């Protein structure tokens, strides 16, 4: 056939997460939504801060309609980039500049642009398991060789020994995500410092930079732990940020890429990111939402309900004997499958209308993910089902 085979395969074979979610919707129509325990999909369950909606109304009232809906510059409105830069500078005591920001349409297309900007022939990118499954098609379609550093079990920090062994002269970048989907783990400053030492050593040895691409849609979703500002620890860091989770705006498609000018070839890399976006058909990020972010970049989510869910699940499941990494961020738990076979566990759970995602797609078999963007009521009703399952699987081995 005359189609691009990898594009066809990506479109024709749906993700396991989507399949589970669709299944949940079908079952809900049969047995009622209240009888489905759907932990499959990471769609925020806290509303945007009320200031966000108020700002939308204000902009509609006080701004010329042609400006609200018109094209902006491809890199984004200056006022938006300035507001983001000011906010980061105030929070982290850094000195970012508006010229270092590219306003994009959320982390996914921003990652694609950065990957394409880095894709020289033969270049490799290393991801750290467990990782967001879309990294693989994004990297491969960009032309990067995609390699996976095995998980650091049970802490789910970074397996630095394995990483150091896997870095080669072709390693162009490392893709990191903290707070992490699916583990909920936040990488510590100490982890980053050790990682930076390894990358600096390897970069010097090979005579070229090794960039970190830091995917940070969950930056604001941390429960009492520090999320270090990585460019301050490792110079050659590019950040892909998104307001999808931090302001609960996943359908609005707004975020930014931060390319520090002090990074190796920083200015050229910024141009390459802009050029890669252009080649991918980027025109500008949604104009109305750029104007909202220009006024709302300082807002933070109210994490109370996520935190309450997190505690209810972590405490409830740990008491039953489930094992998982300490979930300090994002809105996921990554749990060791009783019996060792996460697919068997997920299938058995599905029969009880409990939907959990096996870790295979995240590069970490034997674990399953639950997303706690759900109601506390659903959590409470689902806990006895988790208890039945761990009893059912007790003594089994994979």
The site string for ligand PLP over 134-173 (x = CB under 6 A, - otherwise) reads ----------------------------------------
User: Any contact of residue 362 with ligand PLP (CB under 6 A)?
Assistant: no
* Residue closer to ligand PLP (CB basis): 203 or 355: 355
List Cβ neighbours of 14 (8 Å cut-off, separation of 6 or more): none
Per-residue x/- mask for ligand PLP, residues 312 to 351, rule CB under 6 A? ----------------------------------------
The SS3 call for residue 58 is helix
Q: DSSP secondary-structure letter at 144?
A: P
Q: Residue 56's CB: how many other CB atoms inside 10 A? A: 19
- Residue 179: asked if its preceding bond is cis (omega within 30°), the reply is yes
- Count CA atoms within 13 Å of residue 353 on its CB side: 18
Among 83, 107, 142, 259, contact with ligand PLP (rule: CB under 6 A): 107
Options 24, 217, 260, 365; binder of ligand PLP; rule CB under 6 A: 217
Distances (CA, A) of 321 to 312, 371, 389: 14, 19, 11
- 260 sits near ligand PLP (criterion: CB under 6 A): no
Bridge partners (DSSP) of residue 370 are 333
Under the binding rule (CB under 6 A), the answer on residue 357 touching ligand PLP is no
Considering beta carbons, is residue 242 or 309 the nearer one to ligand PLP?
242
Instruction: Please tell me the distance from the alpha carbon of residue 265 to that of residue 268, in angstroms, as a whole number.
Output: 5
* Site for ligand PLP contains 102 (CB under 6 A): no
Residues 22-41 that bind ligand PLP (CB under 6 A): none
Binding mask 108-127 for ligand PLP (x = CB under 6 A): x-------------------
Q: How far apart are CA 215 and CA 257, in angstroms?
A: 10
Residue 174 found at the interface with ligand PLP (CB under 6 A): no
Give 185's Cβ-side CA count (13 Å radius). 24
Give me the residues that bind ligand PLP (CB under 6 A), please. 42, 106-108, 132, 177, 181, 215, 217, 242, 244, 250, 255
């Amino acid at each position: 056939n005359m189609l691009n085979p990898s594009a066809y395969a990506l479109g024709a074979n749906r993700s396991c997460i989507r399949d589970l979610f669709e299944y949940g919707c079908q079952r809900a129509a049969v047995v009622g939504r209240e009888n489905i325990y759907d932990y499959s999909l990471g769609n925020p369950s806290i509303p945007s801060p009320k200031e966000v909606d108020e700002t939308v109304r204000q902009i509609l009232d006080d701004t010329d309609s042609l400006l609200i809906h018109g094209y902006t510059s491809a890199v984004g409105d200056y006022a938006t980039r300035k507001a983001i830069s000011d906010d980061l500078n105030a929070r982290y005591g850094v000195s970012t500049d508006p010229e270092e920001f590219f306003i994009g349409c959320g982390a996914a297309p921003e990652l694609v642009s950065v990957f394409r900007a880095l894709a020289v022939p033969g270049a490799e990118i290393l991801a750290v398991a467990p990782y967001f499954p879309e990294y693989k098609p994004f990297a491969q379609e960009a032309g990067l060789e995609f390699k996976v550093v095995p998980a650091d079990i049970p802490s789910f920090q970074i397996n630095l020994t394995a990483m150091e062994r896997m870095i080669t002269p072709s390693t162009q970048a490392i893709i990191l995500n903290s707070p992490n989907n699916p583990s909920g783990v936040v990488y510590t400053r100490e982890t980053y410092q050790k990682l930076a030492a390894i990358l600096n050593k390897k970069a010097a040895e090979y005579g070229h930079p090794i960039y970190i691409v830091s995917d940070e849609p969950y930056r604001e979703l941390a429960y009492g732990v520090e999320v270090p500002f990585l460019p301050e620890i490792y110079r050659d860091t590019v950040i892909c940020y998104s307001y999808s989770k931090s302001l609960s705006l996943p359908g609005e498609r707004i975020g930014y890429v931060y390319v520090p000018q002090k990074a190796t070839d920083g200015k050229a890399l910024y141009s390459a990111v802009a050029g890669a976006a252009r080649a991918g058909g980027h025109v500008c990020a949604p104009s109305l939402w750029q104007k909202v972010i220009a006024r709302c970049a300082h807002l933070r989510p109210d994490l109370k309900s996520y935190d309450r869910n997190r505690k209810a699940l972590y405490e409830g499941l740990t008491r039953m004997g489930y094992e998982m990494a300490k979930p300090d961020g994002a809105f996921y738990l990554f749990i060791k499958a009783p019996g060792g076979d996460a697919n068997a566990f997920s299938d058995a759970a599905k029969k009880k209308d409990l939907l959990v995602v096996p870790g295979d797609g995240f590069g970490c078999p034997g674990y399953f993910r639950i997303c706690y963007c759900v109601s506390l009521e659903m959590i409470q009703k689902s806990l006895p089902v988790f208890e039945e399952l761990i009893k059912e699987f007790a003594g089994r081995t994979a």
